Structure 1
């Protein structure tokens, strides 16, 4: 089965009752389907390795045109498409399975990093056009979000059967910074931008630190 978009979000973690990333995905996917975009949503556990394995299985099953993985960034105030995934696991807190790796590679012997293959600057520009706070982010951290991002990009780079599928990661902030309906609408809009944008726009999106 081939679809347009596979969206993933995470289950709650660190004692929280909800996770805004999954809530936003749960809003975005039905909106995309209403607009004629075939979309499948997937809730991932906050577990190193396991989350990436489940996403990989879904990619192989659905063969989407693009994969938009999402996670919660508690300290941010806007929606942030991520530029690069890095090959390291360094947990500040244990994941939901109790794992707390320190300075361990995501994929032993793998590249230091992978760039997103989504048009992250066009996606960030669409946020600004809609009056939604957001920007390109240079780091997805070293927790399970980055783990999923790296494993996704490694899968798409290494498996020739998945050639042509584009993937990347977006962080959403807590609901008190951007409410869930707005975040969901933003994700749907960014997915549509990514589907119609083959070459990213040339806009500033750098950072000094």
Structure 2
């Protein structure tokens, strides 16, 4: 089994992105599933193509995109992506879409194929704050989640995809009163547990249908 895990580069005024840092620190294998790591640009017009290229090259069973959500207290697997790009700030290429449809032939929204509640339970079992989120926003994070779901809908029906938001890390909140943050090592523990839940759930699905994994 292969899982493609992506993390965004820093954006806005931040010099670091905890999403990318935690992806870099994940183990290369979780419950015998190979973890393929990929840095992706915080650029609307490039990021989807970057991920699609990686899907074609690696043929993963699962794609999990990781993004930063400053202001959140917990690691939050996302349940749904919406067909809307509406950016409060420009991306790293200076593009700032306002009230734009992502794909004209796409659904209004797509739900993840990942077991988000099981992922949350697995993280909480490791004493890591986690909860299901029902909004991925309207910035590049939601765009990426929706883009992958669109690919699943149109091209890769056997693929599973999902998105996880992580909070700021401590160094990002220096000088930012009242902003929550999480230790990077705790994020690694949490995401490893969440991915393990995905692997376990996927293997159970395979057994149910009598298929094989690659």
**TM-score where L is the length of structure 1:** 0.88
Name which of 174, 181, 191 aligns with 2:168: 174
Question: Counterparts of 1:187 and 1:86 in 2: how far apart (Å)?
Answer: 24
1:32/1:188 contact within 8 Å kept: no
Name the structure 1 match of 2:75: 79
1:49/1:147 contact within 8 Å kept: no
SS at match of 1:163: coil
With 187-196 and 69-78 compared, the bigger mean Cα shift is at 187-196
1:13 equivalenced with 2:17 (yes/no)? no
2:123/2:191 contact within 8 Å kept: no
2:31/2:199 contact within 8 Å kept: no
Larger Rg: 2
Q: Which runs of 5+ in 2 are unaligned?
A: 171-180, 206-214
Name the structure 2 match of 1:205: none
Shift of 1:167: 0.6
1:65 equivalenced with 2:69 (yes/no)? no
Question: Counterparts of 1:147 and 1:153 in 2: how far apart (Å)?
Answer: 10
Runs of 4+ with deviation above 4 angstroms: none
1:196 equivalenced with 2:194 (yes/no)? no
**TM-score where L is the length of structure 2:** 0.86
Q: Which runs of 5+ in 1 are unaligned?
A: 201-209
Name the structure 2 match of 1:203: none
Name the structure 2 match of 1:52: 48
Question: Counterparts of 1:186 and 1:6 in 2: how far apart (Å)?
Answer: 17
After superposition, the C-alpha distances for 1:123-170 in whole angstroms (9 at most, x for unaligned) are 0111111110010000000000000000001001110xx231111000
Question: Counterparts of 1:120 and 1:111 in 2: how far apart (Å)?
Answer: 21
2:126/2:189 contact within 8 Å kept: no
SS at match of 1:133: coil
